[in-house]
């Protein structure tokens, strides 16, 4: 790497460590991305990329670099990450008054491809919910957890954080604290209520290690179950259902939302239930239901 360019990058990386408390992995990733940009300039423009050359680089040079990455087969996420590294680098140089120019000012980040969420079909979710052995305390807990996920669509962190005072099984709802400690009331279906009642009567008292513990879901040691514990539990049952399925606790949240949409739920209601701040976040489920609708149409319409 050119010594002048190298010294500027070194100053930038030192600031990441000192001021931003960045991890070594993060610092190494920035270093690799900035090194790739330098190599591109050397190979394609024969520029020295010292302080003066960085000063005169234009947005056309950045666009050429992005085109090079595209031709090399990088996906949009990788390109966006490399572009973010350059943005941060140039902001640092501007802030420290090392250069005045910023060729990224007119460059937009590539839009990431929207991935449709993974979810289970109704028959699959029924099979999954029937797997726990309800003759054991942990089986009762697992059934209650899975039913709660599917009935409410809550996040795994929200499920782990549930305390006994937050649930009201007589009225069939629970109070959930989402991102930013934002509170929302989430209804529970009859199957989830029954599973929770069974767990609270015959499962949780057996698991409970100390009386001063309000955590709803406990692990085998009798203390609050962790996010990792929930993930491992869900993965265990998914493997029993089908090894090929890539289903996580978050996929059960997607399943909840997708099934509501497929049965005609209003998008704004789904947004409220999921605790999404923006409607745009919820709109991914319209893509899922549209594809499902097209599939049904193709199968059933005589002239499809």
The average pLDDT across 217-227 equals 95
What are the catalytic residues?
Answer: 155, 179, 250, 253, 276, 285
Which pair of structure tokens corresponds to residue 171? 């009225």
Last residue of a domain, one of 79, 95, 111: 95
Comparing 2-11, 84-93, 151-160, the range with the smallest average pLDDT is 2-11
Which pair of structure tokens corresponds to residue 193? 């209520």
Query: Does residue 100 lie in a domain region?
Result: no
Query: Does residue 182 lie in a domain region?
Result: yes
SS3 173: strand
The average pLDDT across 227-232 equals 94
According to the model, what pLDDT value does residue 301 have? 58
Residues 26 and 152 in one domain: no
DSSP 134: T
Last residue of a domain, one of 60, 95, 130: 95
Query: Does residue 90 lie in a domain region?
Result: yes
197 closest CA partner among 136, 253, 143: 143
Which pair of structure tokens corresponds to residue 170? 């007589």
**Residue 286 scores a pLDDT above 80:** no
Average pLDDT, the chain: 86
Number of neighbouring beta carbons within 10 Å of residue 267: 16
Residues 167 and 258 in one domain: yes
Query: Does residue 15 lie in a domain region?
Result: yes
Number of neighbouring beta carbons within 10 Å of residue 13: 19
For residues 293 and 301, the answer to whether their CB atoms sit within 8 Å is no
For residues 72 and 44, the answer to whether their CB atoms sit within 8 Å is no
Work out the pLDDT band at 204, boundaries 50, 70, 90. very high
Residues 33 and 178 in one domain: no
Residues 228 and 286 in one domain: yes
Q: What percent of the chain has pLDDT over 70?
A: 89
According to the model, what pLDDT value does residue 292 have? 67
Residues 156 and 206 in one domain: yes
According to the model, what pLDDT value does residue 112 have? 63
DSSP 278: S
Output the domain CATH number for residue 7.
Answer: 1.10.150
Q: How far apart are CA 72 and CA 30, in angstroms?
A: 19
Q: What are 248-277's pLDDT values in tens digits? A: 888 888 888 888 888 888 888 888 888 887
According to the model, what pLDDT value does residue 152 have? 92
| Residue 186 β-bridge partners | 174
Residues 290 and 171 in one domain: yes
For residues 195 and 132, the answer to whether their CB atoms sit within 8 Å is no
Output the domain CATH number for residue 279.
Answer: 1.10.443.10
According to the model, what pLDDT value does residue 26 have? 85
Residues 195 and 85 in one domain: no
Comparing 19-23, 36-40, 151-155, 207-211, the range with the smallest average pLDDT is 19-23
Residues 258 and 140 in one domain: yes
Per the structure, the complete domain to which residue 66 belongs is given by 3-95
> In the chain, how many domains are there?
2
């Amino acid at each position: 790497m050119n010594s002048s360019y190298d010294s500027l990058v070194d100053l930038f990386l030192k600031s990441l460590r000192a001021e931003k408390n960045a991890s070594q992995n993060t610092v190494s990733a920035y270093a690799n991305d900035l090194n790739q940009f330098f190599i591109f300039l050397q190979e394609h423009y024969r520029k020295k990329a010292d302080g003066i050359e960085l000063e005169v680089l234009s947005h056309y040079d950045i666009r050429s670099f992005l085109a090079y990455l595209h031709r090399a087969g990088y996906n949009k996420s990788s390109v966006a990450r490399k572009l973010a590294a350059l943005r941060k680098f140039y902001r640092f140089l501007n802030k420290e008054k090392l250069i005045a120019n910023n060729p990224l000012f007119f460059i937009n980040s590539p839009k990431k491809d929207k991935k449709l969420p993974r979810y289970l079909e109704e028959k699959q979710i029924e099979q999954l919910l029937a797997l726990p052995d309800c003759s054991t305390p942990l089986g009762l807990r697992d059934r209650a957890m899975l039913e709660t996920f599917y009935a409410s669509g809550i996040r795994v962190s929200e499920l782990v954080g549930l305390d006994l005072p937050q649930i009201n099984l007589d009225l069939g709802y629970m109070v959930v604290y989402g991102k930013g400690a934002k509170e929302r009331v989430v209804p529970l279906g009859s199957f989830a209520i029954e599973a929770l009642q069974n767990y609270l009567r015959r499962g949780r008292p057996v698991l409970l290690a100390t009386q001063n513990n309000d955590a709803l879901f406990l692990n085998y040691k009798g203390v609050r179950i962790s996010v990792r514990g929930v993930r491992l539990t869900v993965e265990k049952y998914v493997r029993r259902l089908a090894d090929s399925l890539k289903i996580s606790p978050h996929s059960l949240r997607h399943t909840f939302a997708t099934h509501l949409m497929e049965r005609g739920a209003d998008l704004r209601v789904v947004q409220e239930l999921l605790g999404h701040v923006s409607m745009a976040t919820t709109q991914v489920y319209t893509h899922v239901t549209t594809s499902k609708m097209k599939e049904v149409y193709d199968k059933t319409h005589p002239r499809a």
